Amino acid sequence: MSKIAAYQKCINPACGATFDCMQTLFECPQCGDLLDICYEWDKTEVPAKLSDFAKRWPNRLNRLDFSGVWRFRELLNFCPDEKKISVGEGQTILQQACGLAAELGMNPHNLFLQYEGMNPSGSFKDNGMTAAFSHAAMVKAVSSACASTGNTSAAMALYAKACGLKATVFIGAGKIAYGKLSQAMDYGAYTIQIQGDFDDCMRQVQDVCRKMNIYLVNSLNPFRLEGQKTIMYRILEGLNWQIPDWIIAPGGNLGNSSSFGKAFWELKALGLIDRVPRLAIINAAGANTLTELVNDHKLRWNNSHIDNAKINAYYGKLDAAGYKPHTIASAIEISRPVNLKKCLRALDVCNGIVRSVTDAEILDAKAQIGKFGLGCEPASAATIAGLKYLLADGTIGKDERIACVLTGHVLKDPDATVNYHSKKQGPFANAPVQAPNDLDKIIALMKA
C-alpha cells in the first residue's frame, strides 16, 4: 500500500485553511465553508491506467479488492487498509438499457443505467458510508448521526453496526418512505422523528454533532464524497474505460453530483482520462433550488468566487414565504442542498446543466424503467424524466452515449409503485385485473 498523503482543505478561496485527516470536521472551523479531501498524488502510487483497477475485481478473497469502492483505493487514499470497513458495497454494474433507449427514440446501444440499488442497503449511499465509517474508525469515533430522507439512515445504520458505532437518525415526521425507515429500525439505529422536514433535521443534527462531538455522516462529511466518486469509476469500467458523453443524476443534497465532478477532474489531472463527460443534474419541480439558482439567477462557480449574496437572497425568500419542498421523490425533497457550492464546481468542471421534472413525469419514467425489468425508486427516475426533456430540446443528441445513475432500489418505496399502477396514475400503469374464482373466466381473461 502506498503512503497516505491526504489532507482536508476549505473550499473558500479567501480562507483555504488545511487540516489533518485525523481531525473530525464537517465544516471549516475558521470560516464555516465546506471541506474537500485533497491528495498529494506524487506521494501515492496510482496505477498507470484505469484498467489496472479492474484486475482486482475477481479477487474475491481480498475484501478490499472485492469492494466496488476500495478496489479503487489509491484514488481515495486517506485511510490505512486495516481501518477500512467493507460490507461488500459497490457490487453494481452498468446495464445497457436497449429497450428503454428505443422507447425514448435513442440509439438503442447508447443508454446505460448504473443500478446503485444493488448495494447492501439498497442505495448508492453505501459508497459514501464505507468511506465515512472507515474515517470514523480511523479517528476512533464512538457515536454517529445523520439527518435523513431515508437512505442515508439505512446506510448509516448498517455501517455503524459493521464497525460498532452508535447510530442516531433524525428524520422529518411523515417524510420518509417505509422501506427506508424499516431498515434504520431493523439495524438498531436510535431514530428520532422531528416535527419538521429534512432541512429542519439537517440544521438540528449539525448542532447536536457540534455540541456532543458526534460523528456526522451526512454528505457534508467530505470523506463520504470520496467513496461516492467510485460510482463514476465503475461507470467507466462498465464502458471498458471509455468516457460517456453524459452522466445524468438526480439532485438532492448534491453530494453525488459534487463527488462526480471531483472524480473526473482528479482523473483528468492524473492523466487517466483525456476528457470529462457532461453532467446533467435533475431536480424535482417541488424541490428545485439548484435549477432556480443556476438557470434563473445565473449562479456560477466563477472560479470559486461564488456570489453568496444571491444564495442568501434566495434562501431569505424561501424563509419569508415559509416554503417547504414537496415531491413524491422523497430522497430529493430538499430545498437547502448542503453541497450547493461543490455542485456548482462540478457543473463548471463537467460543463453541466440542470433541469427540473414534475412528480407525474418522475412516476411515468419510473414505470418505464421498471417495465424493462430494472426498477428504481422515484428519485432515481428523475434521470430518465430529465433525459426526455434533454432529448426533446436537442441538448442531448440521439446518438450520444448516456449513463444515468439509478440511485435507489425499487423496493425502497413500494407505496409509490403500487399507487401508480393500481390507481392508474399514468399511461404506463399496469393495474391488477379482478377475476372471479372460476377457471373458465380466468382462462378467458388470460386469452384476452
Residue number with CB closer to ligand PLP (411 or 431) = 411
Q: Does 370 bind ligand PLP (CB under 6 A)?
A: no
Q: Does 28 bind Zn ion (CB under 5 A)?
A: yes
Quote the cell numbers at residue 330.
422523497
Q: Does 30 bind Zn ion (CB under 5 A)?
A: yes
Among 68, 227, 252, 325, binds ligand PLP (CB under 6 A): 252
C-alpha dihedral over 106, 107, 108, 113, to 10 degrees? -70
Helices (H), 239-358: 255-269, 289-291, 308-321, 340-349
28 binds, among ligand PLP, Zn ion, none (CB under 5 to 8 A by kind): Zn ion
- First-to-last alpha carbon distance for the chain, in angstroms, is 64
Quote the cell numbers at residue 266.
482528479
Distinct helix (H) and strand (E) counts, the chain: 16, 13
Smallest gap from Cβ 114 to ligand PLP, in A, equals 12
Q: Are 129 and 217 in contact (CB under 8 A)?
A: yes
> Under rule CB under 6 A, which residues in 180-219 are in contact with ligand PLP?
219
Q: How far apart are CA 214 and CA 405, in angstroms?
A: 31
289 binds, among ligand PLP, Zn ion, none (CB under 5 to 8 A by kind): none
200 binds, among Zn ion, ligand PLP, none (CB under 5 to 8 A by kind): none
Q: Are 183 and 157 in contact (CB under 8 A)?
A: yes
Smallest gap from Cβ 25 to Zn ion, in A, equals 10
Helix (H) / strand (E) element for 147: namely strand 143-148
Q: Does 123 bind ligand PLP (CB under 6 A)?
A: yes
Q: Are 91 and 179 in contact (CB under 8 A)?
A: no
Contact window for ligand PLP (CB under 6 A) among 49-57, 230-238, 245-253, 438-446: 245-253
Q: Does 408 bind ligand PLP (CB under 6 A)?
A: yes
The residues, any chain, with a CB within 8 Å of residue 301's CB and separated by 6 or more, are: 341, 344, 345, 347, 348
> Under rule CB under 5 A, which residues in 185-244 are in contact with Zn ion?
none
Q: Does 38 bind Zn ion (CB under 5 A)?
A: no
Among 380, 353, 347, residue whose Cα is nearest residue 365: 380
Among 31, 173, 269, 392, binds Zn ion (CB under 5 A): 31
Q: How far apart are CA 217 and CA 167, in angstroms?
A: 10
The residues, any chain, with a CB within 8 Å of residue 141's CB and separated by 6 or more, are: 24, 165, 214, 215
Among 130, 183, 181, residue whose Cα is nearest residue 160: 130
How many residues lie near ligand PLP (CB under 6 A)? Answer: 18
Binding mask 311-350 for ligand PLP (x = CB under 6 A): --------------------xx------------------
The residues, any chain, with a CB within 8 Å of residue 393's CB and separated by 6 or more, are: none
327 binds, among Zn ion, ligand PLP, none (CB under 5 to 8 A by kind): none
Residue number with CB closer to ligand PLP (250 or 325) = 250
Q: How far apart are CA 70 and CA 72, in angstroms?
A: 5
Among 4, 5, 7, 15, binds Zn ion (CB under 5 A): 15
The residues, any chain, with a CB within 8 Å of residue 448's CB and separated by 6 or more, are: none
Q: What DSSP character marks residue 252?
A: S
106 binds, among ligand PLP, Zn ion, none (CB under 5 to 8 A by kind): none
151 binds, among ligand PLP, Zn ion, none (CB under 5 to 8 A by kind): ligand PLP
Contact window for ligand PLP (CB under 6 A) among 71-79, 131-139, 156-164, 377-385: 377-385
Q: What DSSP character marks residue 408?
A: B
Smallest gap from Cβ 257 to ligand PLP, in A, equals 6
Q: Does 379 bind ligand PLP (CB under 6 A)?
A: yes
Among 12, 127, 407, 417, binds ligand PLP (CB under 6 A): 407
Strands laid side by side in the 278-284 sheet: 94-96, 111-115, 402-406, 246-250, 278-284, 353-357
Contact window for Zn ion (CB under 5 A) among 33-41, 367-375, 385-393, 431-439: 33-41
Q: Are 272 and 54 in contact (CB under 8 A)?
A: no
Contact window for Zn ion (CB under 5 A) among 5-13, 50-58, 166-174, 305-313: 5-13
Helices (H), 198-269: 198-212, 222-238, 255-269
Among 151, 153, 335, 383, binds ligand PLP (CB under 6 A): 151
Among 8, 24, 253, 288, binds ligand PLP (CB under 6 A): 253
Chain positions contacting Zn ion, by CB under 5 A: 10, 12, 15, 17, 28, 30-31, 33
Which residues lie near ligand PLP (CB under 6 A)? Answer: 123, 125, 151, 219, 250-256, 331-332, 377, 379-380, 407-408
